[in-house]
Amino acid sequence: MAGEVRIGTSGWVYPHWRETFYPKGLPQSRWLEHYAERFNTVELNNPFYRQPERATFERWRRAVPDDFVYAVKLNRFLTHLKRLNVDRAMVARSYDTMAGLGPKAAVVLVQLPARFRFDADRVARFFAAVAPVEGATRSSRATRVGSRTRRSPFCANEALPYASATRRSGRRAGR
Q: How far is CA 80 from CA 2, 73, 83, 116, 117, in A?
A: 34, 12, 5, 9, 12
pLDDT (0 to 100) of residue 118: 81
Write down the architecture of domain 8-168 according to CATH: Alpha-Beta Barrel (3.20)
- Give burial (CB, 10 Å; 0-12/13-18/19+) of 98: buried
Provide the pLDDT for residue 143.
57
pLDDT value for 130:
84
Banded model confidence at residue 124, pLDDT cuts 50, 70, 90: confident
Contact 103, 138 (CB under 8 A): yes
pTM confidence score: 0.81
Residue 129 CA to its chain's centroid (Å): 15
Where does the pLDDT of residue 138 fall: very low under 50, low under 70, confident under 90, or very high at 90 and above?
very low
54 vs 147, higher pLDDT: 54
One-letter amino acid for residue 101 of the chain: L
pLDDT > 60? residue 19: yes
Instruction: State the Cα torsion 158-160-162-164 to the nearest 10°.
Output: -160
Give the CA dihedral 146, 87, 94, 6, nearest 10 degrees.
10
Tell me the mean pLDDT in the region 87-108.
91
Q: Return the H-helix or E-strand segment holding 35.
A: helix 31-36
What's the mean per-residue pLDDT of the chain? 82
* pLDDT of 34 above 80: yes
